Structures are given as structure tokens and as C-alpha cells.
A and B are shown apart, each in its own frame.
Chain A
Amino acid sequence: EAGVAQSPRYKIIEKRQSVAFWCNPISGHATLYWYQQILGQGPKLLIQFQNNGVVDDSQLPKDRFSAERLKGVDSTLKIQPAKLEDSAVYLCASSLTAGASYEQYFGPGTRLTVT
């Protein structure tokens, strides 16, 4: 079974530029998550989708971040314009569905450096 795919793996941009990340979850997984992980910290949830609907985006900085999951499968996360503090690893995860007993499976992440 293929795991969660993410691209690109690494990205370096200058502040005020825009960037987009792509995620393809495990086949059949209804729930998709985007996390931001600052070095030395645990992941912080940015947005959660159930199929193609947003369940939780309370921690997404909506003035600069946007995300979509148009057909309920793959998803893109965009930052525009980027700030220095956006330097982090962006992790995508998926689970069969949302619930306390469903483990999340993570992709390899995208390491973003904003200079």
C-alpha cells in the first residue's frame, strides 16, 4: 500500500514570495491534515479536511495561508506572501476517517526555508 506522498521535499524562497505544497493521501483515507512543525517542537495542526470539506482551520493564518482539497483526494497548501517565521517542515497526514482511535499516517514532509 502506497503511503502519503508529498512534494516538493525541499523549498527555499525569499520572503514575500509565494509557495505551494502538494499532498496525496493514502487511497481511501477520508481525512487529510496539514501540520506545521517548527524545529524542536511537536507538529501544529493548520487545517483538517474530511473528504473535500474543511473540519478545522482555526490555526491557519488565513491572511497568508490557503488550502484546498477539491475532489476529496489530493490537497495543496499555499503560502502567499511568505514570512521568515514560516520556515518549518510542512507535514501532510491522512487517516481512514476522523476519530479518537484512528491513527494518522504522515508523508515525508516539505522543508521550507524562507530567506
Chain B
Amino acid sequence: AQKITQTQPGMFVQEKEAVTLDCTYDTSDQSYGLFWYKQPSSGEMIFLIYQGSYDEQNATEGRYSLNFQKARKSANLVISASQLGDSAMYFCAMSSDSNYQLIWGAGTKLIIKP
């Protein structure tokens, strides 16, 4: 069965510091995709970044990068130079070619301190 694990229920980070949010996954599929979403207190789920299982390079989108370690089944999100507006819930999710459903982690609540 496919599973996403986010072990950090909450994190406090000082503004302008970099932050790493952990995500490990479990799947027996060879072809799959990993996603990170941000959910502010307003409730909307915002797509941040995608990594395909066959992508050799780590995905980057502006201040977001995905540290993909396939052998360890790890897909950590790195936010560089954190801002107050980064305070939100962050969800890691996965889908695969055998199951297009998004499997979600429990989320990490990130709070940026001024």
C-alpha cells in the first residue's frame, strides 16, 4: 500500500532562515509523482512543486526546492530565505501510474517568527 509520512507536526523557524520539511513515502510502483502543497489559514490548497520519479535533477520553483533521494524514499521540501507569508500547513502527496489518486501526508504546520 502507498503511504506518505510527515514526521514534523509543527515547526518554528526564524524569518530569513532556510527550512526543510520532511517527507518519506512508500510505494512499490516504479513510476510516480511527488507533490508539495501549501495551505494557509484561508483554506485554499496551493500547488508548490512537483518531482517525477524518473527526474534525475531535483525540482526547483523559485524559493522552493525538492530534495529527492529515491533510494531513501525521501522527498523533503526546502524553503530558502523564509518569509512571514510562508506560515501555513504544508502537505506532501504522491500519486502513481497504478493509482492516480493523491495520497496525502498528515501535514506540517510551519510558523515563521519575525
Binding site for B on A (CB under 8 A): 41-43, 45, 48, 55-56, 89, 91, 93, 98-109, 111
Identify A106's interface contact among B33, B46, B105, CB under 8 A.
Answer: B46
**Interface residue range, chain B:** 20 to 34
Q: Is the interface of A mostly helix, strand, loop or mixed?
A: loop
Identify A89's interface contact among B43, B52, B91, CB under 8 A.
Answer: B43
Closest chain B CB from A107 CB (angstroms): 7
CB pair B43 A42 closer than 8 Å: no
| Interface contacts beyond A91-B45, A108-B42: sample of 19 additional A-B pairs, CB < 8 Å, sorted by A | A42-B107, A43-B45, A43-B104, A45-B101, A45-B102, A55-B100, A98-B100, A99-B95, A100-B31, A100-B33, A100-B96, A100-B100, A101-B33, A101-B52, A103-B47, A104-B35, A106-B47, A107-B44, A111-B43
Q: Which residues of A contact B93 (CB under 8 A)?
A: 42
Q: Which residues of A contact B96 (CB under 8 A)?
A: 100
Q: Is the interface of B mostly helix, strand, loop or mixed?
A: strand
Q: Does B64 contact A (CB under 8 A)?
A: no
11 contacts between A and B (CB under 8 A): A42-B105, A55-B100, A56-B101, A99-B100, A100-B32, A100-B100, A101-B33, A106-B45, A106-B46, A109-B43, A109-B44
A45 to B2, CA, bound (A): 15
Q: Which residues of B contact A106 (CB under 8 A)?
A: 37, 44-47
